A and B are shown apart, each in its own frame.
Chain A
Amino acid sequence: GAGVSQSPSNKVTEKGKDVELRCDPISGHTALYWYRQSLGQGLEFLIYFQGNSAPDKSGLPSDRFSAERTGGSVSTLTIQRTQQEDSAVYLCASSPDYDNTQYFGPGTRLTVL
């Protein structure tokens, strides 16, 4: 079956612009996670959704970052007024409610010039 998909796969933007990153989880998965991996760093937790609600937003690095999930499915991560330090690979993962295993998408590589 289809796995987690993310779009775009690559995004180059200018400092100060807003970007939207999209995640399509595996159908039926109730939990959705956003992470980012900066160059040479491990995975950094950003936010977690259970259904459409986000019980844990503690990983969002600043108020320029926001995320939403609609219909218990697609999620969008928005970064406003991008900065160069936002450059990273943004990974989305989903998991079913009976399993701890997270299934990751291929990521979106964001480059802020």
Chain B
Amino acid sequence: GENVEQHPSTLSVQEGDSAVIKCTYSDSASNYFPWYKQELGKRPQLIIDIRSNVGEKKDQRIAVTLNKTAKHFSLHITETQPEDSAVYFCAAKRNNFNKFYFGSGTKLNVKP
């Protein structure tokens, strides 16, 4: 089955700096890669996703890049703000399969 590894487990940045979180996956058949943000005590919420036919996707201050050859994808947050502080999860899934494989999460702390 799929194995998703996520790094780092914790990340502390100064407000205004950029943050990068990386995930690797093992199943070359995975073709959908979402990122979820989970604030303390709240539910995971989808913030951005990418499919394997695209190398990069951007939505305002967040972007995701995918390298299919190396089997890794990354979340980039620019101009970080204190409200970006949360746990971020990556995930991978095969097309038409129901099972999402989650990374272990990255706790991002943005210091004002």
A and B held together in a complex: no
